[in-house]
Amino acid sequence: MTDITMEITHLQRLTTAYAPKIVQNGIHLIWAFDIRMADIVRTTSEPMIGQMRLTWWHEALREGKGAGEPLVEALRRDVGSDAGVEGLLAAIEGWEVLLEPMPLSDSQLIAFAEHRGGGIFRQIGRLTGDFPGWLAQAGMGWALWDLSGHISHQDTARRAIVLAREFLTDVPARGWPKSLASLRILTGLARRDALHDRIAPAGLQLRQYARILWLGMRGG
């Protein structure tokens, strides 16, 4: 693991271990990018400033700017560039939604999920070469679940879980390509909490360790 990816969460690190070794570094970089976008939103007090910072990343990935930024260069090398990072560009648009004041409407939550979750899952699918038709929807459910554990506005968090449950209903629990095992496990964690109307924990909990092991041993 490089210095760039040291900031990814324990959950992301554990689940990525179930991905093929050849794509693990790329997946780590995608998660590091996602965390960087989250940090921009979290540390921004003025929406316009936050928008400018996110726009910089959008242009860096789309137009070849950002030379000298280690994460940008690593993404170009190991994930893709220009049209090859469509999922990351979409994820930026998802994070832009969170610059809006709380509470978020259901339509805003769905837009966030579609762009951030769908974008991240599509990008990982592109990296592995497997992209089932329901993969973006799985990403939407995961993103809403993940958001529920990281926002202080409880009504928005609860509605995010309700929406996550709706999106995950049509996503299969079995039959995933082996290359997407890490995303299958994340989706499994989200599905279990959503079915129990339980918001995501802010950090990795013991019950999740056990669930990850069970999901990992069960296979696709």
Which of 29-33, 78-82, 116-120 has the weakest average pLDDT? 78-82
Residue 85 counted as domain residue = yes
Question: Of 3, 27, 6, 7, nearest to 15 (Cα)?
Answer: 27
Q: Where is average pLDDT lowest: 6-10, 15-19, 92-96, 147-151?
A: 6-10
User: Cα angle at 182 between 59 and 62, to 5 degrees?
Assistant: 10
pLDDT at residue 69 above 90? Answer: yes
pLDDT for the residue numbered 20? 97
Please, which pLDDT band fits residue 204 given cuts at 50, 70 and 90? Answer: confident
- Per the domain annotation, does 128 fall within a domain? yes
**Where in the sequence is the domain holding 213, given as residue range(s)?**
6-218
Nearest CA-CA partner of 71 in 27, 16, 29: 29
Helix (H, G, I), strand (E, B) or coil at 130: coil
> d(Cα 215, Cα 220) in Å, to the nearest integer?
9
Q: Is there a contact between 103 and 81 (Cβ–Cβ < 8 Å)?
A: no
pLDDT tens figures, 34-67: 999 999 999 999 999 999 999 999 999 988 787 8
pLDDT at 83: 66
Is 76 contained in some domain? yes
For residue 61, tell me if it sits in a domain. Answer: yes
> How many folded domains does the chain comprise?
1
User: Is 198 part of any domain?
Assistant: yes
Q: Which of 142, 124, 119 is nearest to 179 (CA)?
A: 124
119 with 89: CB under 8 angstroms? yes
